[in-house]
Amino acid sequence: MRTYDNPVIGGFHPDPSVCRVGEDYYLACSSFEYFPGVPLFHSRDLVHWRQIGNALDRPGQLDLPDDTPASAGIYAPTLRHHDGRFYLITTDVRGKGTFLVTADRPEGPWSDPVLVDIPGIDPDLAWDEDGTCWCAMAGVTVSRIDPATGKVLEGPLPIWSGTGLQHPEAPHLYRVGDWWYLMIAEGGTAHGHSVSIARARSPRGPYEPAPANPILTHRSTDLPIQSTGHADLVTAPDGTWWMVLLGTRPRGWFPGFHVLGRETFLTPVEWVDGWPRVGPVREQHTAPEVWQPFQLPPVRDDFDAPALAHSWISPRSRRDDSWSLTRRPGWLTLDAQRGQVFLGRRQQHPDCRASVRIDPGSGRAGLSVRMDEAHHYDIEVAGGAVSVVARIGPVRQRIASRAVPPGPVALTVDIAATDADTRAPDILTFSVEGPEMAVELAELDGRYLSTQVAGGFTGRVIGMYVTEGEAAFDWFDYQEALR
């Protein structure tokens, strides 16, 4: 019997929303303060996912000011397909509020935003048989809207606030048979996270809660996957039901530290007596009947393509004059003339290695493991020396330094998860390699780059940066380290 491993999309990919069109599945995740926003994935079997784009990939759709706090920005999208068109609705919590974008193809291009004047976060879209569009929001309310204009035609109407736990959010409406089902998350997005459900004959209610709520929670368990919630349901062509959801994988001593952020997990669903039943989310489950792995692109980027790969993200914005793939062909050039620049990709595995070959020129640049502006470890080259620098809250400390010859050098961070009974969730080892030299510079405790220390809703992002002058990067390589 074939099995699959959880998570199905590792690393900082929270708040998954999924829809199926024929035999193809499409999934979107939150992106918070990063640009481009809302990564989009495609799968043929719910297990193997390939990123096909970002829904918000131009400043006209997503313009996050420089003072946007970490973990603000874009929250909790819902992705749906209706009447031959894709719809994605989400909220910019410090900017334009709730809006939706549409596309003929999930790869895009996606439309300019259509504003929807409903307060709250975590918007959802569902259509009745007559084409009426309903928008549910955290709280939980439902409104009848015109998705073409964003106009609110009725509501918002309070419909169900869950079982009494804090933060009823992440509502999704489904029509199943003669019933409308309203599935929500509640209990907060930390260890108390859970999934509950209710049903009614109309989207307006009244809603009858499931007798076995919550239908999913890992709170107060010692299961390796925690914080399970913010779920979405999808049916396969064979009639089976599946749930995508977020979860975390904490490690180390109390309180446990998760460093990859909230990741996307998959678990099977059964229907019993008119209600969905979900077992604990395991690290391995029996796979869906259809098994169609993708030939994934290499994770090494030699910067020979005419455009950046979809997986590269930057905090808040990415000005066109701050980077170039043509200024030095075969290299990525970053220019700090108008401020520091960072391009990174999500850390997706507890054990991994990331390396970059850099020509710093006369600039200051390097490789960073980032949670936010106040929590990151860097290995950088400037003024003929390579240094490892740790930023933890208000403290910035140079951990190690040594001279390097002029010209390109390779910078590497090796990340190794620790045993469960240690204090640190992992150890980060920084090293440099150049002409006639290969030196390990420092080992750092990974707990200080965790959600439990930094706070917020994101996970680690590893990437290249420049803070002074201009620097060029020949390649970036990221690999899972197999034990």
pLDDT at 440 over 90: yes
Would you call 102 helix, strand, or coil by DSSP? strand
Secondary structure E strands in 159-222: 169-176, 179-186, 194-200, 208-209, 216-217
Per-residue HEC secondary structure of 230-244 comes to EEEEEECCCCCEEEE
298 vs 283, higher pLDDT:
283
CATH fold group of domain 3-286: Tachylectin-2; Chain A (2.115.10)
Task: Say if CB 265 and CB 244 are below 8 A apart.
Answer: yes
pLDDT score of 296:
78
pLDDT at 421 over 80: no
pLDDT score of 230:
98
d(CA 325, CA 73): 27
Average pLDDT of the residues in 15-35: 98
Report residue 299 as tokens: 């994770």
pLDDT at 139 over 80: yes
> Beta partners for 144?
134, 154
d(CA 381, CA 130): 62
Q: What residue has token string 């020979």?
A: 304
pLDDT score of 233:
98
pLDDT at 123 over 90: yes
pLDDT score of 362:
87
Give the distance, in angstroms, between the CA of residue 331 and the centroid of all CA atoms in the same chain. Answer: 27
Q: What is the pLDDT of residues 140-167, one digit of tens each?
A: 999 999 999 999 999 999 999 999 999 9
Nearest to 146 by CA among 205, 201, 100, 80: 100
| CATH classification number, 314-480, choose in 2.40.160.40, 2.60.120.200, 1.10.357.10, 3.30.70.20 | 2.60.120.200
Catalytic residue numbers read: 15, 169
pLDDT score of 436:
82
pLDDT confidence band for 435 (50 / 70 / 90):
confident
pLDDT at 308 over 90: yes
Domain ranges of the chain: 3-286, 314-480
Report residue 372 as tokens: 């936010």
pLDDT score of 294:
83
pLDDT score of 1:
80
Average pLDDT of the residues in 206-233: 97
Q: What is the pLDDT of residues 45-91, one digit of tens each?
A: 999 999 999 999 999 999 999 999 999 999 999 999 999 999 999 99
pLDDT confidence band for 3 (50 / 70 / 90):
very high
Average pLDDT of the residues in 450-475: 97
Average pLDDT of the residues in 225-244: 97
Q: What is the mean pLDDT of the chain?
A: 96
pLDDT score of 152:
98
Considering only CA atoms, give the Rg of the chain.
Answer: 23
Q: What is the pLDDT of residues 337-394, one digit of tens each?
A: 989 999 999 999 999 999 999 999 989 999 999 999 999 999 999 999 999 999 999 9
pLDDT score of 458:
98
